[in-house]
Structure 1
């Protein structure tokens, strides 16, 4: 890490293989092809700091170049996901920053979401308890979300006098739950409880609290055992096609699918089908 950088401008030297990296501000475990990131300040419901934002950003950037990790699970310790930016370590210090300093911070937080969307690995969030503010954004920026009935999700930026348009929320959230529902959450900052989050499509599935990390990991492992090159292509196209017309999307998908047809996994799938066996994918 650069020791002389102002808070929010830290950089962390993270190079593949990510499994060898030892984070300073959260936990990281790589088992098989799945990396599990655990936000680990349970006494405060796992809030983010300038440093954890930066280290998470740099970890997801490194994952773009990691061939070993095929899926990522993000969770929180102690029965909560994340309580957002730490009130005393982020929100209070921001009061004394000038406009360039504030813009530097808000751009840095946005870079975390960009890095999550750019990494080829599908990200599964395991969400229990409090999931608010920047925590809700991290959940939103994940590809899939496993939650609990007692989870409380809130984009509460307006509760602290800010706009709901934080870290891509106005672009991404409507695409998950719809424009009207996203508007309600972003204008009011109210809590979306677990059953409502599942009903609205924010949670892909609802499980018991003791099973949330297990279920998320099982899902991640299933994806890791699949055609991971093709999964990465799917993630890329889901992101890119937001800005395409239908005709452009059809052409882009034609090209993407033609690339996937040249993979060995595609050949393996055919050969397995022809011999009435289950394909064993290798991601090449």
Structure 2
């Protein structure tokens, strides 16, 4: 892939703010729905980020007052009615591959959620590492409202971990919108900010992460994901090994040297 400052995706917006990559969907007139093509291109980007040191953190931003309205009714939902089981499974696995790629990429991902954030858009926000919202943010897992199950793209696994089993069950059974205030109280949003400050706040937060230690951030994200399936004793041992690995990095020595010299460490990610 070319330098990320020159990266020009076909189906979403991308720009670099220093070492932070900023993504937004590019159909604000329709509240930014996803298409087959944007799903696949986003999946491929997050897969590629595993190998791209230039990008240290990612912001998934809103556009035109909305985050994402989910799968496009005309471009996705209609055509799915004509697919056989094999074709349907190819699609549902692709959507799951997007959020799996988001988990697997080493960079912290900050979702900046304004306005409509529903369906697959809510899943993108959910699988981000942190979420900032505005008072106007309305988040809904709409799957049952279109005749499907609430278990889409990992919702039944991830949402209870973020907001709790009972609250997740209510949202997934009903498909109702979670208000911004509910989202903040329940832990879905890390915090709420005013609309005109949302993207700047999200980029500033991502830039703090991008300043490093990047190897340590990668290890933190890895452990946050992997320890779900561990016993407590296994997690403690895994963290002992992870921390010992991090102690071999130059950034660990840089932090020590800066402390001795009463300076702020400048991390370089190695």
TM bucket normalised to smaller: over 0.9
Give CA-to-partner distance per residue, 1:19-78, whole Å, 9 cap, x none.
332100001001211000011100000000000000000000010100110000001210
- Aligned partner of 2:205 in structure 1 is 219
From 54, 60, 68, the equivalent of 1:68 is 54
CA shift, 1:275, in A, is 1.3
Any conservation in 2 of the 1:18–1:63 contact (CA below 8 Å)? no
Give CA-to-partner distance per residue, 1:86-141, whole Å, 9 cap, x none.
00100011011111110010001000001000000000000000000000000001
- Aligned partner of 1:119 in structure 2 is 105
CA shift, 1:16, in A, is 5.7
Give the whole-Å Cα distance in 2 for the aligned partners of 1:84 and 1:94: 14
Give the whole-Å Cα distance in 1 for the aligned partners of 2:155 and 2:3: 31
SS in structure 2 of the partner of residue 76 of structure 1: coil
- Aligned partner of 1:93 in structure 2 is 79
Give the whole-Å Cα distance in 1 for the aligned partners of 2:7 and 2:167: 39
Give the whole-Å Cα distance in 2 for the aligned partners of 1:156 and 1:18: 34
Could you tell me the TM-score, scaled by structure 1's length? 0.94
Give the whole-Å Cα distance in 2 for the aligned partners of 1:232 and 1:212: 25
From 35, 41, 46, the equivalent of 2:27 is 41
- Aligned partner of 1:180 in structure 2 is 166
Give the whole-Å Cα distance in 1 for the aligned partners of 2:182 and 2:93: 31
- 1:88-167 counterparts in 2 under 5 A? 88-167=74-153
Give CA-to-partner distance per residue, 1:193-229, whole Å, 9 cap, x none.
1111000000001000111101100000010112111
Could you tell me the TM-score, scaled by structure 2's length? 0.98
Tell me if 1:168 matches 2:157.
no
Give the whole-Å Cα distance in 2 for the aligned partners of 1:65 and 1:180: 38
- Aligned partner of 2:225 in structure 1 is 239
From 222, 235, 238, the equivalent of 1:249 is 235
Any conservation in 2 of the 1:40–1:46 contact (CA below 8 Å)? yes
4+ runs deviating over 3 angstroms: 16-19
Mind listing any 5+ residue stretches in structure 2 that lack a counterpart? none
Mind listing any 5+ residue stretches in structure 1 that lack a counterpart? 1-14
Give the whole-Å Cα distance in 1 for the aligned partners of 2:57 and 2:110: 8
Give CA-to-partner distance per residue, 1:3-30, whole Å, 9 cap, x none.
xxxxxxxxxxxx2643332100001001
Any conservation in 2 of the 1:16–1:65 contact (CA below 8 Å)? no
Q: What is the Cα-based RMSD across aligned positions, in Å?
A: 0.8
